[in-house]
Amino acid sequence: MGNICRSPTADGVFRQKVIDHGLSQWVRVDSAGTHNYHPDSPPDERTQAVAAKRGYDLSGLRARQIQQADYARFDLILAMDWDNLALLQEGCPAEHQHKLRRLTEFCQRLKKPVVPDPYYGGLRGFEEVLDLVEDACEGLLAHVRRRANA
């Protein structure tokens, strides 16, 4: 939504997995919000703290709103929940609708339909987000590798 909690977490986790698997030359990772609530702000301090405990550095990320060019630029655009998916679908040109999915579609162990917004809760919510994102990013990495080999 505002690109300061869930999406920068996914950005940082997936970016690290891409680096760890030597795919940086072929895979571009970015995150954006559906709203322009926090332009150019770093990720929420709680998001950064929870991620840092697991070895992810999110400090260099800055919030931005999705742009029309993003729909053409990226092969996949992943939403964290149904509301954000609907907003993406509203703004996405018809020829790029097939790129829109929920991140949790890639979860392998945890079965949740969405990544819940932790903003108004406690630290446990941020840890739950990271649990879901790590699981989904493993599945996403497998998906990207399958597509690359196809």
Tell me what percent of the residues of the chain surpass a pLDDT of 70: 99
Instruction: For residue 138, give the nearest of 102, 100, 109, 101 by alpha carbon.
Output: 109
Which of 3.90.1150.10, 3.10.129.10, 3.40.50.2300, 3.90.480.20 would CATH assign to domain 6-149?
Answer: 3.40.50.2300
Q: What is the pLDDT of residues 132-144, one digit of tens each?
A: 999 999 999 999 9
Exposed (0-12), middle (13-18) or buried (19+): which is 74, by Cβ within 10 Å?
A: middle
Would you say 101 and 79 are in contact if contact means Cβ atoms under 8 Å apart?
Answer: yes
Stated pTM of the model: 0.96
DSSP letter at 127 equals H
Could you tell me the residue ranges of all domains in the chain? 6-149
